[in-house]
Structure formats: C-alpha cells, structure tokens
Amino acid sequence: MAPSRDSNVKEESNQVSYKKDINTKTDRIIQTRKHANDIFDVIEYLQSEKEKEIIFATNACSKIFCELLDRGDIYVGELPKEEDLMHGDRSAEEKYHIFMRHRYNSCVELLLENISHEAFQVKETSLCALMKFVAAEGKHPLQNLDWCEHYNFPRELILALVKHLLSEIEDMSLLISRFQEFMEKDDVRYYVMSSVRDNIARVMGKNKRDVIPLYQNNVFTLLSTINIPGQASEMTNFLVKQEKKHEDWKAARLKEHKRAFEQMWLVFLKYKLPSSMYKKILVILHESILPQMGDPTMMIDFLSAAYDIGGAISLLALNGLFVLIHEHNLDYPDFYRKLYNLLDPSIFHVKYRARFFHLANIFLSSTHLPVYLVAAFVKRLARLSLTAPPTALLILLPFICNLIRRHPSCKVLIHKPSAAEEPCDDPYVMEEKDPAQCHALESSLWEIKTLQKHYHPDVAKAAMIINEPLSEQEDDISVLLELSTFELMEREVKAERKTIPLEFDTATELLKSSREVLGVHFSLE
Amino acid sequence: MRKQQKLSSGLSDKVRKSKAAPEIQKNPFEVKINRKKFDVLGRKSKHDVGLPGVSRSRANQKRKDTLLKEFRLKGKNNKFVDRRFGEYDSKITPEDKILQRFTLERQRTHDRKDMFNLNEEEELTHYGQSLAEMEKMADVIDSDSDSEEKGLLSAELTASHFGGGGGLLRMKSAGDEEEQHKPKSRQELIQELIIKSKREKRERQTQKEEAQELTEKLDQDWRSIQNLLAHKTPRAERKDEDDKPRMEEYDVMVRELGFEMKAQPSEKLKSSEELAREERLRLQTLEADRLKRMMGDAEGESALTHTHISADDINDGFILDGDERKTLAYKDGKWNIEEEREEEEGGEEEHEAAAEDEDEVEDDDDDESEEEEEEDRDDDLQSDEEEEGRDEEEAVSDEEQRRAVQEAARAELPYTFTAPETYRDLQSLLQGHSSGQQRLILDRTITCHHPSLASGNKAKLQRLFGFLLEYVGELASQNPPDLRTVNLLIPQICSLCQLFPEAACKAVQMLLSDSAHSMEETLEVKGRAPMPDLDMLVLLKITALLFPTSDFRHPVTTPAFLYISQALSKCVVVSLEDAIKGLILCCLALEFVSLSKRFFPELMNFLLGLLHLTVPDKSNTGYAVLSPFRQQGKNFDLLVLTDPNASQSWSRKPVSLHTAVRSPAEREHCRLSLVDSCLDLVKRCTSLYKDLPSYTHIFQPIRTLLLDHLPVALYPSCTQDLHREILDAIPETPSQHAPLVFKKKKPIPLKLFTPKIVEILDYGKKRGNTKEEKERERLKHKHKREFKGALREIRKDTRFLAREKLNDIMSRDSERKRKVKELFGSLANQEGEWKALKRKKMK
C-alpha cells in the first residue's frame, strides 16, 4: 500500500511539475528572447508518452507560436538552412527569427504526427492547434508572395493536414467529424476540397488502382461531410480575410466551390471502390452529391456502371439515375428491361426495399407504358412474392393491384372469362430476360391465389382483393414502405380483442400435442 | 187538434207505421240506391242502399219528442217533473219498475225504523234494547208490568185497523184469505181481536210464572249438590294425571313421525369454489399440523393421537398406554379420528423407528433421492440446533423421537404457500426442489389462491403466470437446460392459462414482443441477428400448446407467427447449433400451420437454405437461396459430410433440443440427423401445400436441389427413401390451372321503390307526415264534418219548427174562421129571426 501511495504522490508532484514547467517556460519565451532555447523543452513535451503532457504542451505551443506570429517574430520568406545560420552575416534579430521559424516548422511537423496518435484527445488538440496556426498564418503569411497572383492562405499546411487526416491505416471518422466544424468556413472548405483532390490522385495513383478500404472510408467520411451553401450570398464565413480583390478570390465564388466539389468526387469515384462503399455512396448520392455538383450529368458514367453491377447496388443506382432522367433529361436505353431484370427474389430481403418500391412505383406510374411490359412486371413480382416475407407482401400486393388499376388492359391477369374453366399451364417464362417475350399477358396470377392462404391475416386479406373487380381508387403504398416485422407485431399486440380463444385440449407435456412435429425430431434430453 | 196532427204527419209515415220494417225495405219505392261511380277494391260501403222515408220519419218523430216539447214549453216558468223511479226510463219493463219501486219503498220505511211498523221481521227496541231480548230474559221484577199489548201488534190487527199498504195486503196468509171470504162486520172483527189478544196475554203470564217457579226450584237443587261437586275435584285431577302419560306416548309417536327423517335429497354437487375451499381447508389443516410438528411440540398431540390404531398397525401389542386404547367411535357425529395422514404418523411414532428409513412420502411424484438429500441436510441443521439447545436431563429416547418427527415434517412440503409477489419470490419458492416437488408446490399455490377464495387472488395468480413463463425461460436457458422440469410444469401453465386467458395473452405477448424488439435492434445495428435462444423456442412451443395456431387472427399466435418468420428470415446460421435451432423453428412453423394449411414462405426459404448447406459444390446451381443464407460465403459447407462412412453408424432417433456437439463423429451424426429431419419436414410440406395453385413453383428450387445437387449417395437408406418420396411428390411440370376469373357476383336487382307504409287512422284524404300532424288533420276533418252535420241538423230543426209554427197558425186561423163563421151564422140567424119578427110585427 505504501509504495502505491508514494507513486501517487510522485505522480501528483510530477503533474504539477510539468504544468509549472511548461507554463513558466512559455511565459519566459513570450516575454524575453533570452530564454528562446526553452522552446526545445516545450517541443520535447510534444513527443512525451503521457497524453496529458502532450495536450498541455500542444496548447502551450499554439499559444507561443500564435503570439510570435502576431508579433512578426517568425522569419518570412525563403528559409535558410539552420546550419547556414552561423555563417551568414545576419543580425541577431534575423537570426532569432530564423531560429524561431525552424522551431515552428518542427512543431508543426510534430503536431501533424500527433494527428495519428492513438488517443483521440491528443488528435483533437493537435488538430485545433494546427487550425489556429492556419488562421494565424493566414493573417501573417510566411511567404513573400506576389499579391496579385495569389491570395494569402496557407495551402501547404492544409495539404499536409489533409494528408494526415486521410490516413491509410487508421479510421479517422471521429476526427473528421470534428474537422467538419472548421469546414463551415468557406475558404477552408475550398482549399480542403482541392487538397483532397490532389491527395486522392496521389494516393490512389500510387496504389495502382487497388482498393484501400480504410483510406477510401476516410475519404468518404470527409467528402460526405462537405456541404456547400446553396446560394452565393450565403458565403460570408471566412477564416482568413482578404483585403484586396475579395470578389475575384476563388474561395469566395460558389461556382468555383461547385467545380472543386465535382472534381473531388469524380476523382474519388474514378478509382475502384469496395462494394460496401458503393452502397454508401449511392445511398447519399441523390440527396447530398448530385444537387451540389456543377454538372450532375458527369455522374452518368458512374451510375450506369453501378446499375450494371446488379443486386443491391443496381437498386441503389436507380435513385441517382432517376434524378438524372427526371431532371437532367438523360436518355437511358433499355431502362425498363434492365429494371425488369433487376427483379429477383432477393429484392424483398434487402434493406433498400422501401426505396426500390418507391422508385418502381414512380417508374411504372406512366399510363403510356405498353401493356406487355406492365403485365410482365406484374407477373414477375407475383412470382417473386412466393418467397417474400409478410412485410414485403403487404407492399407488393397493393402495388400489383395499383398497376392493374392503372393499366386496365392488364385485368386479364386476374380476370380471363374467355378461357375460364379450361386448365392450362402457366405460359409465363420466368427465365426470359426480355419482358416482351415472357408471355406474361397470357398468364394468370395464380401466385396471388396461393397467397390467399398465407399465414398472416393481413396478407391473406390483401390477396383476397383479386377475387372481385378492383375498386377505382388506388391504394396508397407510401405508408407501407417502411413497415417492419416488429411494427406488424406491435400492431397485432396492440389491437383490442374482446375474447382470447384458447386451445381446448389442454396439454400435459411439452412435446405432446395433437399435431406434434417438434417431438418427432427432437427430444427433451 | 188530433185531426190536425194526423194530417201533418203525412201519409208516408202512416203507411210506414202500419207496415213492418222488412216490408218497407223490400218496397222499391221506399228504397233509394246510392249509385257508385267507381268500384274501389276493399272499400266497404254501408250506405249503398238508403231508406230516406224511414229515416225522415224517424228524425221527425225524434224532433216531435224533444224539440217540439221544448218549443211548447218555451216561455213557461214551471214545469212538472216526475221523480218517480224509472219514470222516464223506457228500458225497464213496467213490472220491474213496480217491483223496484216497492223495494225502494220498503227500504225507506225500514230505514226510518218506524215504531208503528209492526212487521214480524222487524226487531223492536226499547231504549235501544231489543224488546224481544227483554222478553226472553223474563225479568221477574218486570213480570208485573201490565202494558197490555207491549206494542206487539199482529199484521192482521194493523191490517184491520189501518187498512194496510198494498204490500202488506199481499203478505196475507191463506187462512186470512179464507176469513176474508166470509164477510164480517167491522164491529165483530174488533171484538174478536180483543178477545184473542187477551187470551194470549193470559196464557203468556201463566207460562212465565211456571218457568219462574221451575228455575227457583232448579237453583235450590243445584246448591244442594254443589258441595258434592267441590269434594270431587281432586279426584278428577288425578284422573287427568293418569291420562297424561298415555297422551305423551301418543304425542311422542306423532312427533316422532313428524320428525322422522324424511327422504333426504342427495348431497348436491359441489361448485368449484366449494371444492377449492375444501381443498384449501384441508391443505391448511395439514399445514398447521406440519408446522406444529416442525416446531417440535408434537408430544401433547401425540398423547392423544398415538392411542388410535393406525391402519398400518400390525397389532403386535406394542402400545405404550394399553388402557387408553379406544375403539372406533363417533364424536359429535364425526368419525373420531384424524385423517389418514395423522394415522400414519401415529403409527410411526408408535414404532419409534428411525423416521429416515421410512418412506413416509405421501405424494407419489416425490423424488425419493432428492428428498433424502434434503432430509440429510435438514438432519445436519437440526442436529446442530439440537446440540446447542440440548437439555441434558431429557431422556435420550425422547430426544430421538422428537427429532424424527421434526425431520419428517421438514422433509414434507408445506401445504399452503403464499403467492409470489415478484419473480424472485417464485424463484426462491421453487429452487432447491425436485421437478416433481416444484410441480406440487405450484399446484398447491394455485389451489390456495383460487380466485373465488379471495378478491386479490386473481391478480396474484395472473402475476404468477407471468413469473412462471419467466421461470420456464430461465430453466430453458440454464446450461444444461432443465427441460424435464419445464415439461412437468406444462399442466400448471395450462390450467393457469385456462383461468386467465387475458393475463396469459398479455404475458406471452410481452415476452414475444420484447424478444422481437431486441432482435430488431440487433438487426438495425449489425444487420444480422443470432438465432433465438432455447427459452424463446420453448416459449413458442408453449404458445402453440396454449393458444390455437389455426386461427385466422389471434392476439398471441399471429405475433408468434411473425416472430418465427422474422427469425427464419433474419437470423444467421453460423454453427451446427444454429442449424438445429433453425430446424426447431421450422418444426414449430410447420406445427403452427399443420391444421390450417397456411402458406409459410419463410419456412420454405429456410428449408431450401438448410439443404443448400449440404451441397458440396455450390457453384452453378439452378436455384437461388434467400436471406439469411447466401449462395456462397462463410460457413457454407456447415452440413457437408466430411466422413463418407458416417451414415453406417447413424440411426434415426430424435435429436436433443440442446445438443452441444463436440466430437467429429457426433458432428457427422448430427449433420445426418439434420438432413433427415429437414427432408422429413419438406415431405410434410409437400403434403400440406399440394393443393396450392403454385405448388410446383414453390417447390421447384427444392426439387432442383434434391435432384441435381444433394449428395444422396452418402446418406443412409432411410434418408434416401425420404428423398425419393419427396421427388415423387413434386411433379416436374407445373400442374394445370384454370385462368383466374372474378367471383361470380349475384346479379344486382333493379332498384325498386320500397312501399311506404302509412298507418291509416281515418279514411279519406289526409295529409301530414308526422303523427301529430296526421292527428291534427284528422281532427280538423272531423270537426268540419261535425260542423256541417250540426248546421244541417239546425237547419232541419228550424224548418221543423217553422212548419210547426205554420201549422199552429193555420190551425188557429181555421179555428178563428170557423168561429167567425159560427158567429156570422148565429148573427145571420139572429138577423133572420129579428127580421122575421119584424116582419111578423109588421104583419
């Protein structure tokens, strides 16, 4: 017990000591140039093993250098090498400035390294410190640049920061979400976007077009957080104020922003993506990417490629395609044929079922579609319904009925009095890829008849509708789209019942009832 | 005047009066036919034939009787009203009228109590006392009164004196009538009467005197014998006493007969409450005894009880107190022994043998070993306690005896239990008991808290059901699960469920939706969920036992269906255990739909997926497996046989619900069992769904799999048989069906106006919709009609009166004319006479 107490005391004293140490040194550095060498000790703390020390030191560093930058105590322009410092005939003042510039550079390097530190707090403070440097440098540029050509913004620093943010070996999503705060500044966002573009091109080019899931994930996280304001007038929030020619500054123009955004995404999508990434992108594509792009039609290639992949990715690509077709006049050949071939048993089991039905409902809402096409869709959906879960069936059945209502010529599918009473094979060919050739119109919806015996009462009821002529009014399926099994269950549980019927022959054993199946195959032992 | 009237009444009246009514009706000149313009169906007309002459004369007559009389009396102040009874009543016949008048007259006179009405029927009084009574008393003192007649006048007398009323005359006897035949002078009659009455008076006086004498004599006689009577009274009393016993005997007999047991009605069937109460009482008494024995103060009672002969007594003479031995006896009409249980104990105590050795378990379900264990434990405890509180002076034998009793008591289960308030209570109540005992405990708890016994019991038992389900869940999730106990508890759960269907429904629903909710959450977070645990599977099975699964919609089974569906389509199969659980779910699903034959797509998908796991080569299949299975991926050869020889050592037998497969051989066997069960389920499905129109489409993927991909050759022969049977059951080509048509609807009948039924209150045109309005209309109409009728009547009256007046005037005029003529005539005569005289004079 005693030793541990001792160590506690030591730790405490240690804590106090490092705080005091850093504080006093910071104060001395800021106050007099005599103690300039103390900066080495402070910077050393950045490499400490203890998180608290690093954090404390980081804060101290940001304080020192911001102060120095404000004062103009840091050398501006082409930086001579440190070794050359002694030889050149420079004033002490200049020497001091150069020295401090070197310290500043090493400090920035260490901070960038700390962004990859394992502790999130260290990462966060490093990020904040760096962003303070960005702001300070923006005010007091370290380069002597031609004012007409360039605007003072520390692009190198941002580039380095982005490079470290988009790590290839670590998931940075937490830090990126913290970084999002800084990207509310329009100029930061603009330069980040261009930096990201450069970074992707560099990293992916280096990797020879292989997927790098972690890196791409980080990029995606960063990209998806970028939000461009809708109107130019909203762009007033800048980290660095430009005194001159503010209007001509690229970072201040919405068009430039959009272009940067577009290029960034296109570069990102140019390379091969893991399929989960595809899904993620496609999910947000129509809502947060396409509207922010300068020219959404640039995405056509990507979407067509995604649509051809098949499965869930195709389903998701539908949404983006729809936006393009609908708003940007895209002419997509064989769209309905592809849509028809998208229908396979798995569509009822995937997560994006609601989205698919929503879109399919829109695509098939036109009354100018040929009858054979609608009939093919109806028949195929009916066939697929034989394997669908009840939640999907509750959407599917009204959906089919709606299609038949919209296209009264499809009524033959559920009502064919001319050939009544004559048994026939189902002429429909499930394997046929072309909806025109599948003979759907000659068939009948026996599958719906089968579903009238479904175990779920609501499904059975919905299937019963085809027994009688359909009403004129279409069913609203939008309320059913997001229905989950649990909700169905809750609905059943909440319903008020007057009586609860019971099994009349009371059981005596667990595995012994009048219709035992479980007991045949399993025993209690 | 008479002549005049006759003239005015008209000829027709005269004719009508003279002729009989039918004759008139037949006379075509009298009859007026009211011609009908239209024949209205259903209308009964009363007035198609009228007799105007008859009705006119009737009306005329009526007016003459009423209006004319009034007219004549007009302006006259006095009028004569005859108030005699029935004077104006034409309905009463004259005879009746007279009779009634007579009776009324009689009543009036009777009421007046006329002193001078000397009728025999009437009672005469003097100073409010009946005179007849006075006479009968024959007061001695009053005997001298010489009022001769005492107001007693005979009818004859009055008749002769006053001539009598009409009524009295009729009452005359026949004899009187004879006398009346001989005419007598009035003088004679009075003489006769006086003599007669004097004679009668004398006779009465003598009679009275005689009676007086006789009574006095009798009185004297009575006094002389009165003493004798007084002496004899005690003897009479004794005589009574003698009589008494005899009477009692009789009375007793009567009473006995009265009180004798009648044929008693057989004892009525006890209601469930009574039964429960009795059962509880029994359990309570037993519990009280048990507690007593446990406390160790059974001595006092044993002194009383051990004297009884046990049923098990072998009569070996080993009785401590032989003198007190009692025979079977009744006490207060009750059998004077305790219940069997008591006897047994008595026997035990008598034997003084070690109680541990005896199997004194009264419940057949009790697990012996368990109980012994417990006894041992109790023994230890007990002995410790004993050691501490041992009384050195006590005899060792006594001590042992007591201990034995206590142990026996401890080993027994209590007879009453408090209902558990929380789940922990139930747990502590049941823990440490064998499954049989647990069942017994539950049984007793339920009996003690039958809802009819106390008001709070219902809620307690309802809660108990919930706890019980929870407990069953806990038993099933133990490692290894205690499914035997669950099995034994099923009847209790069932009976509780029967008692409270609502509570049971709520409890099962809650468990299901809780589990479904957690599954939903894991699904949202991870995208996939693990298979439900054994407790949920057991709960689903219990659900199927408690509630009907064949209902179209049921508050419990429909959610259960959805739960199974969710599990079968969302829960991943990553191990053999998962596959077993999945198969259990399939069995349950099949059981759920086996009666209703409802279609369960998830079941088919899952079976296909399971069979897909057995296929070694998973590329290029002709079917698609669905969630939760994948065409290819991790664990995709979970059921592929690794050892081709495993089928030889395998035999078909039920798999345990909770197998933990370890060794490779076991794994192989488990795989074979799974495939076998799977195929059996598919076979059951084929027979279940073969009537569905899409039967072949549903089974097509399974058929392809079985036909082309399943490694049948590796499986034992019985599995191969199953495989063949399934393939036989699924036809290759889809069966033919007639195209769908809508249900034939009944032709919709033409729209017709339903007849509006209006209640007719009065015939004729009436408008108005509501009842009040109709009534109003009707009254208005009636009023109008009445008003018109009244007007017509008034007009007729005035016409009648005018005619009468005219008649009067005319008759008066003719009279005057006649008189004037007469006068003129006489004047002319006078004139003529005078002229003649004058002429004579002249001459």
Sequential DSSP letters for B634-678:
TTTTTT--S-TTHHHH----PEETT----SHHHHHHHHHHHHHHH
Q: Choosing among B508, B557, B569, B677, which should be mutated to test the A contact, i.e. which has the most A CBs within 10 A?
A: B569
Q: Return d(Cα B110, Cα B113) in angstroms, integer.
A: 5
Cβ–Cβ < 8 Å for A45, A18? yes
* pLDDT class of B201 with cuts at 50, 70, 90: very high
CB B437 within 8 Å of CB B504 = no
| Contact: B742, A415; criterion CB under 8 Å | yes
Mean pLDDT of chain B: 75
Distances (CA, A) of B76 to A63, B90, B801: 143, 26, 18
Respond yes or no on whether the N-terminal peptide bond of residue B711 is cis (omega within 30° of 0): no
* H helix or E strand, kind and range, residue A521: helix A518-521
Count CA within 13 A, CB hemisphere, residue B773.
5
Model pLDDT for residues B781-811, shown as the tens digit of each residue: 999 999 999 999 999 999 999 999 999 999 9
3-state secondary structure of A515: coil
Residues of B in contact with A511 (CB under 8 A): 487, 541
At residue B809, the pLDDT reads 94
Task: Work out the pLDDT band at B351, boundaries 50, 70, 90.
Answer: very low
Nearest chain B residue (CA) to A389? B602
Nearest CA to CA, how far is A352 from chain B (Å)?
Answer: 12
For B566-580, how does the pLDDT look when each residue is reduced to its tens digit (9 = 90+)?
999 888 888 888 888
Chain A positions in Cβ-Cβ contact with residue B631 (cut-off 8 Å): none
CB of B692 closer than 8 Å to CB of B601: no
Min Cα–Cα distance to chain B from A339, Å: 19
What tokens does B827 get?
């004047």
Output the CA torsion B239→B242→B246→B248 (10° steps).
100
Average pLDDT for residues B347-354, to the nearest whole number?
Answer: 41
A196-200, B238-242, B468-472, B569-573: the lowest-pLDDT one = B238-242
Q: Out of B565, B655, B733, whose CB is closest to A485?
A: B565
Judged by CB atoms closer than 8 Å, whether chains meet at A524 and B656 is answered as yes
**CB-based contact A493 B559, cutoff 8 Å:** yes
Chain B residues with beta carbon closer than 8 angstroms to that of A519: 654
Arithmetic mean of pLDDT, B43-68: 86
**Which residues face B49 on adjacent strands?**
B33
pLDDT, residue B195, reads 93
Hey, is A78 helix, strand or coil? Answer: coil
Contact B680 A456 (CB under 8 A): no
For tokens 């920061």, what's the residue?
A161
The H or E element that residue A74 is part of is: none
Chain A residues with CB under 8 Å of B677 CB are 521
Least trusted range by pLDDT, from B175-179, B428-432, B463-467:
B175-179
Cβ burial of B600 (10 Å; 0-12, 13-18, 19+) is buried
Provide, as residue numbers in chain B, all residues whose Cβ is less than 8 Å from the Cβ of A379.
none
Q: For B498, which of A490, A506, A523 is closest by C-beta distance?
A: A506
What local confidence, expressed as pLDDT, does residue A127 receive? 82
Considering chain B, what percentage of its residues have pLDDT values greater than 70? 68
Q: Give A256→chain B minimum CA distance, Å.
A: 39
pLDDT of A108 above 90: no
How would you label A417-448 residue by residue, b for 16+ Cβ within 10 Å and e otherwise? eeeeeeeeebebeeebeebeebbbbbbbbbbb
Measured between CA atoms, how close is B634 to chain A, in angstroms? 17
Chain B residues whose CB is inside 8 A of the A454 CB are: 598-599, 601
CB-based contact B547 A383, cutoff 8 Å: no
Residue that has been written with the tokens 């009793």 in this structure: B405
| Token pair listed for B75 | 């302006």
Flag if B736 and A424 touch (Cβ within 8 Å): yes
CA–CA dist B70, B514 (Å, integer)? 104
Q: How, if at all, do strands B129-130 and B334-335 pair?
A: unpaired
Residue B441 parent element (H or E):
helix B435-448
* Nearest CB to A517 within list B505, B594, B600: B594
Q: Closest approach of chain A CAs to the CA of B598, in angstroms?
A: 5
Q: Kindly identify which residue of chain A lies nearest to residue B484, measuring between CA atoms.
A: A524
Q: What residues are paired with B33 via a beta bridge?
A: B49
Q: Is B598 close to A455, i.e. CB distance below 8 A?
A: yes
Return the residue of A nearest to B593 by Cα.
A455
Encode pLDDT of B717-757 as tens digits: 888 898 999 988 888 877 788 888 888 777 887 888 877 77
Select the residue from B556, B740, B742 to test the A interface by mutation, using most A Cβ atoms within 10 A.
Answer: B740
Contacts of residue B773, defined as CB under 8 A and 6 or more positions apart, other chains included, come to B767
Q: Mean per-residue pLDDT for B216-228?
A: 85
B299 pLDDT above the threshold of 70: no
Mutation target vs B (from A421, A517, A523; most B CBs, 10 A cutoff): A517
Measure A443 CA to nearest chain B CA, in Å.
7
3-state helix, strand, coil in chain B (%, to 5): 60, 0, 35
Q: What is the mean pLDDT of chain A?
A: 79
Distance CA B537, CA B531 (A): 10
Which of B482, B659, B742 to mutate: most A Cβ within 10 Å? Answer: B742
CB contact under 8 A, B555 and A492: yes
Residue contacts between A and B (CB atoms, under 8 Å): 240
Residues A510, B569: C-beta atoms closer than 8 Å? no
pTM, rounded to two decimals: 0.58
